[in-house]
Amino acid sequence: MGVFKYEYEFTSVIPPARLFKAFVLDADNFIPKIAPQAVKSFEILEGDGGAGTIKKITFGEGSTYSYVKQRIDSMDKENFAYSYSLIEGTPDSIEKICYETKLVASGSGTIIKSTSEYHVKGDVEIKEEHIKARKEKASHLHKATENYLLEHHDAYN
């Protein structure tokens, strides 16, 4: 088994506390609202929303996968950090994918720092095109979040 790791950063004009409330703490409601074509729903299968919680995320039509199951590994509300693993619904060649996200204050906005680790089976390699596509999807979701929060000044304050 191999592990492929990559990091990426996004910037936002939205402060970290507000981004964290919308994008992490209320993700189950917020993400399907801002990206209904991509994510249809979140369903808690086990847990209370904190570490150890398992969720099923159902994707919209045209998505590569119909669903994934996600386990929340940690949630640090004071430091705006969050980690989770995709534990089901990934390609057969991948055992799991682990994500860590930290929102860091920068001026009046935020630097969103993300790390992804692909735990692959055998000698499978993660292709650069896949990483680029994942970064692009994440970038679109972060931009949609920022746009929503800029348009709805009272949301998630």
Give the pLDDT confidence of 21-45 residue by residue, as tens digits: 999 999 999 999 999 988 999 999 9
Judged against a pLDDT cut of 70, whether residue 88 lies above it is answered with yes
- Both tokens assigned to 81: 């950090």
Judged against a pLDDT cut of 90, whether residue 90 lies above it is answered with no
- Both tokens assigned to 92: 């057969």
Give the pLDDT confidence of 55-66 residue by residue, as tens digits: 999 998 878 789
Domains of the chain: 2-35+80-151 (3.30.530.20)
Count of CA atoms in the C-beta half-sphere (13 A) of 9: 8
pLDDT confidence bin for 53, thresholds 50/70/90: very high
As a whole number of angstroms, the distance between CA 140 and CA 138 comes to 5
pLDDT confidence bin for 156, thresholds 50/70/90: very high
Q: Note the pTM of the prediction, 2 decimals.
A: 0.89
Instruction: Give me the pLDDT at residue 93, please.
Output: 84
pLDDT confidence bin for 83, thresholds 50/70/90: very high
Judged against a pLDDT cut of 80, whether residue 1 lies above it is answered with no
Closest CA to 84 of 57, 120, 59, 122: 57
* CA angle (51 as vertex; 149, 141 as ends), nearest 5: 30
Instruction: Give me the pLDDT at residue 121, please.
Output: 87
| Mean pLDDT lowest among 83-92, 94-103, 148-157 | 83-92
Query: What separation in angstroms does the CA of 19 have from each of 14, 47, 63, 106, 145?
Result: 6, 23, 25, 13, 8
